[in-house]
């Protein structure tokens, strides 16, 4: 049974690391295809690889749904919703539904939601999201980027879609390079809103990370202090037990000395007689 359990653990870890490795590789390829202009044949290979990863993710989601109870709670879980979104092959669906649309390249951003799917498997990041609610902030930030990119594209005719996306990222992060600047009234109004949102959102992210890391440091210190106290207490109990044993032995020795003393006195009296 022990050997069987060890084999199962090895298989689990192999599957765990291979699966997460596929997701990381797919995210890397998606990012490359999103940012850079690549040859069509390589882009198609990336799409087919992404389709395979999506099928694996959908299979895992269906298996977890089948094994879960109650199923409604599993479906409504935020991380499971994100996982389902991350498992959808947007390229193939959108190319069929909206052929020739220039927005398809940027709608691949939905695939980057796999970051949340992957992070839910890593204990450190999972604890970070659960204790700080940071996944909600990042989800809202992701939606804000998409929304304002679309608004600038529709109501700000100065730049193209990529420049609008670039401007939203730069403005939200409060970097402000100045190479892309708003020209029309609508663009300036949207920029002001973006600046305020960026200050608010990144302040929350910074505060959440600081609080989480501080709590972890304090928790580690408490664990270390507890270990030291437990070790001291254990050592103290051992010393106390040894002292009790020594006292008991001293008491027994004292009794033996008293008995020996009485015997010596009796022997002296016999000698005198």
Overall average pLDDT of the 222-237 stretch = 78
pTM of the model: 0.49
Residue 38 is given by DSSP the state: -
* Average pLDDT of the residues of the chain: 76
Question: Does residue 10 surpass a pLDDT of 50?
Answer: yes
Could you read off the pLDDT of 11-39 as tens digits, one per residue?
655 666 677 777 778 778 877 777 777 78
Residue 8, pLDDT > 60, answer no
Q: What is the DSSP letter of 185?
A: H
The two three-digit tokens of residue 156, written as one number: 């700000």
Of 88 and 52, the structure prediction assigns the larger pLDDT to 52
pLDDT in tens, 141-191: 888 888 998 898 888 778 888 888 889 988 888 787 888 888 888 888 988
Contact 134, 205 (CB under 8 A): yes
Residue 210 main-chain phi, psi, to 5 deg = -65, -45
Give 184-227 pLDDT, tens digit per residue: 888 889 889 988 888 888 888 888 778 877 877 787 777 777 77
Calculate Rg over the CA atoms of the chain: 34
Q: From the CB of residue 83, how many other CB atoms can be counted at a distance below 10 Å?
A: 21
> Is the separation of the CB atoms in 82 and 116 below 8 Å?
yes
- Quick one: pLDDT at residue 96? 55
Per-residue DSSP letter, 133: -
- Going along the chain from its start, the domains and CATH numbers come out as 1-100 (no CATH), 122-273 (1.10.287.70)
Residue 228 — pLDDT band, cuts 50, 70, 90? confident
């Amino acid at each position: 049974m022990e050997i069987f359990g060890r084999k199962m653990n090895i298989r689990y870890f192999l599957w765990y690391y291979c699966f997460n490795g596929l997701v990381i590789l797919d995210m890397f390829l998606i990012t490359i295809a999103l940012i850079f202009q690549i040859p069509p044949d390589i882009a198609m290979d990336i799409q087919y690889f992404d389709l395979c990863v999506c099928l694996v993710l959908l299979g895992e989601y269906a298996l977890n749904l089948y094994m879960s109870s109650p199923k409604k709670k599993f479906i409504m879980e935020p991380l499971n919703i994100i996982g389902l979104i991350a498992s959808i092959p947007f390229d193939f669906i959108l190319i069929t539904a909206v052929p020739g649309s220039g927005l398809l390249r940027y709608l691949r951003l939905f695939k980057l939601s796999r970051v949340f799917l992957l992070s839910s498997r890593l204990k450190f990041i999972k604890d970070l999201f659960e204790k700080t609610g940071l996944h909600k902030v990042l989800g809202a930030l992701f939606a804000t980027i998409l929304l304002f990119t679309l608004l600038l594209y529709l109501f700000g005719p100065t730049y193209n879609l990529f420049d609008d996306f670039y401007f939203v990222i730069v403005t939200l992060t409060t970097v402000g390079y100045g190479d892309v600047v708003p020209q029309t009234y609508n663009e300036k109004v949207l920029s002001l809103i973006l600046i305020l949102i960026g200050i608010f959102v990144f302040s929350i992210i910074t505060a959440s990370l600081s609080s989480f890391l501080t709590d972890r440091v304090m928790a580690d210190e408490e664990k270390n202090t507890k270990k030291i106290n437990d070790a001291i207490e254990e050592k103290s109990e051992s010393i106390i037990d040894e002292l009790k044993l020594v006292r008991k032995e001293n008491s027994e020795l004292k009794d033996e000395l008293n008995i020996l003393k009485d015997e010596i006195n009796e022997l002296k009296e016999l000698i005198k007689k």
